[in-house]
Amino acid sequence: MIAAAIVAVALLSSLRIGTDAAAAAAPAAAGVSALNSDLYIYDPTGTRLLGRAHYTVTQHDSVVTIEGRNDFIDGQRDVEHETLKTAEGELPRLLTYEHDFFDAHGAAQLTASADAVTGKTSCAKYENGRGTIETAVLQFPPDTYAGADVLVPVADQFRRGATDLDIHVFDCALGPRILTLHADLARAPWSFRPHDGELARADAHPVFGWFNLLLKPFVPTIRMWFDPLRDYAFVGGMLSRYYRGPEVLLVSIRPAIKPQPAFERPEPPAFTAPHDSATPAPPSSAAAAAPPLSAAAPAPEH
């Protein structure tokens, strides 16, 4: 499930949870901050729209909650929910993770869950109304991530100027297990609107040890782009929805920018002839009876 849930990093990478910057940005009185993110989901060529994703990240004191939903035009959907614990000056640590996938008819397809505190994990797969589930109790190293929060350390390493990264991830690729995720960090072009130009790119893949020689053809590289001009905010990614699942392209939707008011020169006031504000007196009866000067008869000649 590594690839399926990375879209919320658009929020997490910019939030920089657990750092002094995040603490300063959060409202001190309420201890709560929230961010929303929307992304388009395309086919790998970027020419056919498949769906849309919406994620909300809420931070309440030291606990961060991620809630996401991916809706596809054909009716498929998946829902993610996870929580993390933050600490001063450190990246957040995973507490709980759950990701559920449903087919076009609403039937369950896959379910992944993990409790990093107790170590209890499970991976379930459903087919033709029947399901199989695998469970395990695992030891979670401090740098273990799952789903959407996987890219938090990736963005952090970009900010530090690193060229690669190795972290641990929980995944259901071969049953519940904790793997090493290796990422190569570099600069590469991005050509999908509304973003364009050279960005920071991370090419990541899980490490299966010596099994990599056998599994590499079945484990595609996850490619993710970040914008260095926006504090390495997530721009998009090429990935599989889940292990051996269909590949999709994610493109973040930039929030609408309120246009600046146009400068308009004020119109000068209209100039009018001065006038007496007093009400004119009515004409006298004699003046009223006299014909206008222009209409008077000429004086007789003598």
Write down the residue that tokens 């072009």 correspond to: 189
Q: 60-74, 260-274, 282-296 — which one is most confidently predicted on average?
A: 60-74
Residues 241-276 pLDDT 10s: 877 778 899 888 865 445 555 555 555 555 554 444
Instruction: Give the per-residue pLDDT at 80.
Output: 92
Residue 92's Cβ-count burial label (10 Å; 0-12, 13-18, 19+) is buried
Residues 164-173 pLDDT 10s: 989 998 988 7
CA–CA distance, 36 with 17 (Å, rounded to integer): 15
Which are the contacts of 297, defined by CB distance < 8 A and separation ≥ 6?
Answer: none
Evaluate if residue 27 carries a pLDDT over 90: no
Instruction: State how far Cα 273 lies from the chain centre.
Output: 62
- Section 69-93 average pLDDT: 90
Residue 267's Cβ-count burial label (10 Å; 0-12, 13-18, 19+) is exposed
pLDDT band for 137, please (50, 70, 90 cuts). Answer: very high
Instruction: Give the per-residue pLDDT at 254.
Output: 67
pLDDT band for 138, please (50, 70, 90 cuts). Answer: very high
Instruction: Give the per-residue pLDDT at 260.
Output: 53
CA–CA distance, 171 with 157 (Å, rounded to integer): 22
Of the chain, the percentage scoring pLDDT greater than 90 comes to 27
- Section 14-41 average pLDDT: 52
Instruction: Give the per-residue pLDDT at 255.
Output: 57
CA dihedral (268, 273, 278, 281) positive or negative: negative
Would you call 238 helix, strand, or coil by DSSP? strand
